[in-house]
Amino acid sequence: MTNLLPLIRNECTKIIKKKRFYVILLILLVLVPMFTYAQMRIAERSRDKFNSDWRLEIQQRITDNQNSLSSDRIPEEWKSYRRIFIQQLQYYLDHDVNPNEPSGVTFTREFLDNSVSLFIPLLIMAVASDLVSGERTTGTIKMLLTRPVRRWKVLFSKMAALLMFVSLIVLSVFVISYLISGLAFGYKGFNIPVFTGFQLSGDTVDMSGVHSVPQWKYLLMQGGLIWFVSVVVALLAFMVSVLVRSTAASIVVMMAALIAGTILTNMAAAWSTAKYLFMVNLGLTGYLAGTPAPIEGMTLPFSLAVLSVWGLAAIIISFAVFTKRDILN
């Protein structure tokens, strides 16, 4: 009749002592300054070019994109993507709001948009992929499962610890990217307005639902979506680590799935059933920003539903397999 709390404590101790979480923090501390520097160079260049007038810059980007529309060499899909982009830029210009106002908060927002479908899932995998398979690789699973504790409790405690660390990782990404980019761009910018609610149909944008939210609120919404994506990825990685005996195999399986996702989002527009795969649905924050979904028919509720089903299936499979399986070696 062992309580669950001591078990969860055990699992947290193991994750911390294995130094996985420190490695994740270290990766962030190395990579975020790199991205910040790159962003700084971009900002510098456009300042030189447009004399610090962001309206000129936006106008230039609109013209560039419009010119490219007349080219025959550009595929039709890209053209519709650009038409949408032009309409959104025009909207910002009409309402006199700079979409790229340089600040630590803006950097964080953009960095998170770009990292939600690959970078953050990779960080999550660093913890999730060896939670069960790691115990099997080292053989400690035998010690773990010969104690007077039901197997589902052991697995539940691992899952609970994982969800705690997933939340911690998402939070760390936010905090670290804000703190580091703030050094370069300043820590202000929480109240800059951001437009959200673009309704896309074909290559026209329905502006009727567009409204502005302060950037801090936008960040919170983004955070919620990223947390949800991270939890689903964590559950899937966890399931793989239950199913596969070695940690290496477990990481490779998840990596392959994630990378397949990024490849598919770039080419699967024609294959519409691909929208039921979890990996093309990871870009939830794109719905907030109004970037077109990779496949026709994908909306925020649709993606949330698809991810929920995958996450739920992962939980069911993990428990069903873990509680029944013979530990042969």
Partner 1 sequence: MAKERGAEPSDIVLSVKGVRKKISRKWIIDDVTFDVKEGEIFGFLGPNGAGKTTTIRMLVDLIRPTEGTITVCGYNVNRNPEKALQYVGSIVENPEVYTYLTGWENLQHFARMQPGVDEQRIAEVVDIVRLDQRIHDKVSTYSLGMRQRLGIAQALLGRPRLLILDEPTNGLDPKGIKELREFIRKLAEGGLAVFVSSHLLSEIQLLCDRVAIISKGRVLAVGGVDELVARNSPYVLWDLAPVPAARSILEEHAGIRLLGLDEVTLDDSVIAGMGGGSVITAMDEALIPETVAAMVAAGVAVNAVHKINPTLEQLFLKLTEGESID
Residues of this chain that bind partner 1 (CB under 8 A): 1-2, 6-7, 9-10, 13-14, 17-19, 138-140, 142-150, 324, 326-328
Please state the closest distance from residue 6 (CB atom) to partner 1, in A: 4
DSSP-derived pairing of the beta strands 211-214 and 199-201: unpaired
Please state the closest distance from residue 159 (CB atom) to partner 1, in A: 17
In the bound state with partner 1, the residue whose beta carbon lies nearer, of 154 and 293, is: 154
Amino acid identity at 169: I
Query: Tokens representing 140?
Result: 């400690």
- Nearest-10 Cα torsion for 214, 219, 222, 223: -150
Please state the closest distance from residue 30 (CB atom) to partner 1, in A: 23
Count CA atoms within 13 Å of residue 308 on its CB side.
7
Please state the closest distance from residue 136 (CB atom) to partner 1, in A: 10
Please state the closest distance from residue 14 (CB atom) to partner 1, in A: 7
Please state the closest distance from residue 39 (CB atom) to partner 1, in A: 37
81 burial class (0-12, 13-18, 19+ CB within 10 angstroms)?
middle
In the bound state with partner 1, the residue whose beta carbon lies nearer, of 139 and 186, is: 139
Q: Does residue 284 contact residue 226 with C-beta atoms inside 8 Å?
A: yes
80 burial class (0-12, 13-18, 19+ CB within 10 angstroms)?
middle
Contacts of 185 (CB under 8 A, 6+ apart): 36, 39, 40, 43, 102, 103, 104, 106, 107
Please state the closest distance from residue 18 (CB atom) to partner 1, in A: 6
H or E element: which one contains 207?
A: none
Q: Does residue 216 contact residue 108 with C-beta atoms inside 8 Å?
A: no
In the bound state with partner 1, the residue whose beta carbon lies nearer, of 248 and 305, is: 248
In the bound state with partner 1, the residue whose beta carbon lies nearer, of 72 and 326, is: 326
In the bound state with partner 1, the residue whose beta carbon lies nearer, of 15 and 269, is: 15
In the bound state with partner 1, the residue whose beta carbon lies nearer, of 143 and 220, is: 143
Distance CA 181, CA 261 (A): 29
In the bound state with partner 1, the residue whose beta carbon lies nearer, of 188 and 325, is: 325
